[in-house]
């Protein structure tokens, strides 16, 4: 039976792999070279010690957009994004120096220093974790597996320890005045 607009013969079309376009778009190919701008953008974020989620609001872009630059899905980051990143980098140079200042020290040495400052036994991981606001297993991984928090997070923990140690010393001075 013939219908208008439809041929009676069977037509085969080879569309190839229907998921090929999805596969190409899904993740950045790790072997794909990044442009100089995209590489610089990623380097700035890493030197600042920021996750993609924390860097994006400063750039006023979505996380997916930043990922497309860093994974090479977008060939070149726009100049406006690069200008903003460079400006953030200039403003945060002090933070970068702080971030790099602890790179040569092991986390075990840092945690031991925190324990001394807080007057906590070095093996009392639970109390150390409670003071700095992380889980006991996190401190354990830092000490035994050599894992490290991001540089900006590490600086935050150091500030917390410093403030807590200052409170302990202030308490000791107040008690000494009483007696």
Q: Taking a C-beta distance cutoff of 8 angstroms, is the pair 61, 78 a contact? A: no
Q: What is the rounded distance in angstroms from the CA atom of residue 179 to the CA atom of residue 177?
A: 6
Q: Given its phi and psi angles, is residue 78 left (phi above 0), alpha (psi -120 to 50 degrees) or beta?
A: beta
pLDDT tens digits, 53-105: 989 998 889 999 999 999 989 889 999 999 999 998 888 877 777 666 677 78
Average pLDDT for 33-57: 89
CB under 8 Å to 55, separation ≥6 — which residues? Answer: 45, 48, 66
Three-state secondary structure call for residue 114 = helix
Query: Residue 16's pLDDT band (boundaries 50, 70, 90)?
Result: low
Domains for the chain: give ranges and CATH numbers: 20-92 (1.10.260.40), 102-178 (no CATH)
Q: Please give the pLDDT value at position 34.
A: 87
Exposure string over 66-105, b if 16+ CB within 10 A, otherwise e: bebbbbbbbeebeeebbebbeebbeebeebeebbeebeee
- Residue 25 pLDDT > 50, yes or no? no
Prediction pTM value: 0.54
């Amino acid at each position: 039976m013939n219908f208008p607009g439809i041929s009676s013969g069977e037509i085969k079309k080879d569309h190839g792999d229907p998921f090929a376009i999805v596969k190409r778009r899904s993740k950045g190919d790790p072997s794909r070279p990044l442009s100089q701008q995209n590489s610089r953008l990623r380097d700035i974020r890493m030197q600042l010690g920021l996750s993609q989620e924390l860097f994006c609001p400063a750039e006023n872009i979505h996380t997916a957009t930043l990922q497309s630059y860093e994974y090479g899905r977008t060939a070149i980051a726009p100049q406006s994004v690069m200008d903003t990143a460079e400006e953030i980098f200039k403003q945060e140079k002090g933070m970068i120096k702080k971030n790099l200042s602890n790179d040569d020290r092991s986390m075990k040495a840092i945690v031991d220093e925190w324990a001394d400052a807080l007057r906590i036994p070095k093996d009392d991981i639970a109390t150390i974790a409670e003071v700095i606001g992380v889980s006991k297993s996190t401190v354990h991984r830092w000490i035994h597996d050599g894992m490290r928090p991001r540089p900006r997070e590490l600086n935050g923990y150091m500030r917390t320890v410093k403030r807590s140690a200052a409170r302990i010393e202030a308490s000791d001075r107040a008690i000494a005045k009483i007696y």
